[in-house]
Amino acid sequence: MARTPFKFVDLFAGIGGFHAALSGFGGKCVYGVEIDPAAAAVYERNWGKSILGDITEDVSDSQCLVPAHDVLAAGFPCQPFSKSGAQLGMEETRGTLYWNILQIIRHRQPALVILENVRNLAGPRHIHEWRVIVETLREQGYRVADVPAVFSPHLLPPDLGGRPQIRERVFIVAVREAPGVTDHRLDLPLVDNRAVRGWDPGTWDLISDLPIEPTEAGPECRLSSSEGYWIDAWDDFVVGMWEERDGRRLPGFPLWGDNWVTNSALKIPKGTPTWKADFLRKNAAFYTEHQKFINSWTKRWKFYTEAFPPSRRKLEWQAQDTPRLWDTVMHLRPSGIRARRATYLPALVAITQTSIIGPLRRRLSPREAARLQGLPDWFDFGAQAPAATYRQLGNGVSVGAVWHVVRQAVQAYEETLKKTCPGLVRSVLGAEESPDPALRRLGPS
């Protein structure tokens, strides 16, 4: 029997995006944790691994029951750390789930640590949290970049495991240094938020590249009669505006139907935020220029009646020269209808804003959403409600993005990792550049 090249633990695992990539490289999961029982059930169904519900049961001041491993992966919740005294050390993280991760790292010293979090962790509001994470990992003997690594799967071409989804996430990669090394800094992150190998994300074709299946249209995908009516109305607006504006595209600022007044009638209340005042002026100018067309359109579609709730009287056009609204992909958001070209999608989210595929007049199916995250078609969600599947996928990690980050890390630190975990180096550098073939092999025979 072949020896497992490396062992990994999967913390805050969701349904197993990290597991897909790491097992695709040949690794063996020796421990997992996921507090949501529905997600844990999907994880166990597909990966054949029972996982714990609460990490604090196994990791505390007095114990660490997590087995030895080579790679620690965690899509961890980022809780605020104490700023008392700006200690920037392990004690500052006490009471957070990140503290439990640090305890595991301190006790087990894995060769490679990969943490994933939302894009905002790299933003100005979380500078303190970022510094705490970097400093505490360095205290444990790990090399970590000062600059956050942000990456999205739509920046990878299809043959590298990319997917047509903007999903910017922060990846924190930490490599355990050899004994005696005291400088644990990196000048630059292992990956940056740029397209790989000259790939042009604008060339994604959602329908063919995902792919979107014309026949995949369960009840959860269908549009309500009201949704169809709203889109039909705005489609009529878009088509009419091409002629009205002599072929000029719609403006990029949000169109707010409830604020369409002439320039002379516009009144901006004192204290209105600058950004909102700017949009109000632009909407007034737009209405003033096209008042006759807009008045006819709003009357024809009963725009200012209960047929149109306020959130559907707003359109955000990001579809450039796409001729019709029904040719775009759409999100029905609390802030209005957002339309984009049918190239790549906004990030899946864990709430009911599933993308509408205009050319097929339906929503993205659960299977298509799973493909968007890089999960193989054999991945089984069981008999759970589609809403639960959408939510779990919206909380998940992109398999292709993880695959890319792991390959970059191993390539960059090959010499160090050959000393700490040579099996990881052999399996990662010997694998295909895309996770897709490996995941197909992992499926049921």
Count the neighbouring beta carbons within 10 Å of the beta carbon of residue 65: 12
Portion of the chain with pLDDT greater than 90, in percent: 68
- Is residue 23 domain-shared with residue 145, that is, in the same domain? yes
At 308, the pLDDT band (50, 70, 90 cuts) reads: very high
pLDDT recorded at residue 82: 53
Q: Which tops the pLDDT comparison, 313 or 415?
A: 313
Number of structural domains the chain divides into: 2
Per-residue pLDDT averaged across 96-113, rounded? 92
CB 86 within 8 A of CB 95: no
Per residue in 349-380, pLDDT tens?
766 678 899 999 999 999 999 999 999 999 99
Per-residue pLDDT averaged across 321-325, rounded? 93
210: in domain: no
CB 253 within 8 A of CB 227: no
Per-residue pLDDT averaged across 138-159, rounded? 91
Domain boundary among the residues 364, 386, 407 is at: 364
1: in domain: no
79: in domain: yes
User: What is the three-class DSSP state of 170?
Assistant: strand
Per residue in 398-415, pLDDT tens?
999 999 999 999 998 898
387: in domain: no
At 61, the pLDDT band (50, 70, 90 cuts) reads: confident
pTM for this predicted structure = 0.89
- Is residue 258 domain-shared with residue 348, that is, in the same domain? yes
370: in domain: no
pLDDT recorded at residue 218: 83
pLDDT recorded at residue 1: 44
Q: How far is CA 256 from the centre of its chain?
A: 28
pLDDT recorded at residue 188: 54
- The candidate with the shortest Cα–Cα distance to 107, out of 63, 148, 73, 47, is 63
- Is residue 27 domain-shared with residue 137, that is, in the same domain? yes
Average pLDDT of the chain, as a whole number: 89
Per-residue pLDDT averaged across 202-220, rounded? 85
- Is residue 221 domain-shared with residue 345, that is, in the same domain? yes
Distance (Å, rounded) from C-alpha 417 to C-alpha 262? 66
Q: Which tops the pLDDT comparison, 218 or 93?
A: 218
374: in domain: no
378: in domain: no
- Is residue 54 domain-shared with residue 186, that is, in the same domain? yes
CA angle 362, 364, 369 (to 5 degrees): 175
Catalytic-labelled residue, pool 29, 64, 78, 221: 78
Per-residue pLDDT averaged across 52-81, rounded? 86
- Is residue 34 domain-shared with residue 60, that is, in the same domain? yes
- The candidate with the shortest Cα–Cα distance to 76, out of 10, 139, 131, 155, is 10
CB 406 within 8 A of CB 178: no
pLDDT for residue 257 is more than 60: yes
- Is residue 298 domain-shared with residue 431, that is, in the same domain? no
- Is residue 108 domain-shared with residue 244, that is, in the same domain? no
pLDDT for residue 123 is more than 80: no
Helix (H), strand (E) at residue 337: strand 336-340
Cβ-based burial of 48 (10 A; exposed 0-12, middle 13-18, buried ≥19): exposed
- Is residue 140 domain-shared with residue 23, that is, in the same domain? yes
346: in domain: yes
User: What is the three-class DSSP state of 394?
Assistant: helix
CB 373 within 8 A of CB 164: no
- The candidate with the shortest Cα–Cα distance to 25, out of 42, 8, 12, is 8
- Is residue 222 domain-shared with residue 195, that is, in the same domain? no
At 79, the pLDDT band (50, 70, 90 cuts) reads: low
At 88, the pLDDT band (50, 70, 90 cuts) reads: low
pLDDT recorded at residue 382: 94
Of 10-14, 134-138, 183-187, 297-301, least confident by mean pLDDT is 183-187
Domain boundary among the residues 364, 381, 404 is at: 364
At 325, the pLDDT band (50, 70, 90 cuts) reads: very high
Helices 291-300 and 225-244 sit at what angle, rounded to 10 degrees? 160
- Is residue 399 domain-shared with residue 349, that is, in the same domain? no
Active site residue 421: no
Per residue in 416-438, pLDDT tens?
899 999 999 999 999 999 999 99
Residue 147 belongs to domain spanning: 7-199+395-442
CATH code of residue 150? 3.40.50.150
pLDDT for residue 216 is more than 70: no
> Strand 112-118 vs strand 7-11: parallel, antiparallel, or unpaired?
unpaired
pLDDT for residue 328 is more than 90: yes
- Is residue 132 domain-shared with residue 165, that is, in the same domain? yes
Per-residue pLDDT averaged across 113-136, rounded? 84
Domain boundary among the residues 364, 382, 416 is at: 364
CA angle 30, 35, 41 (to 5 degrees): 70
CB 122 within 8 A of CB 150: yes
At 293, the pLDDT band (50, 70, 90 cuts) reads: very high
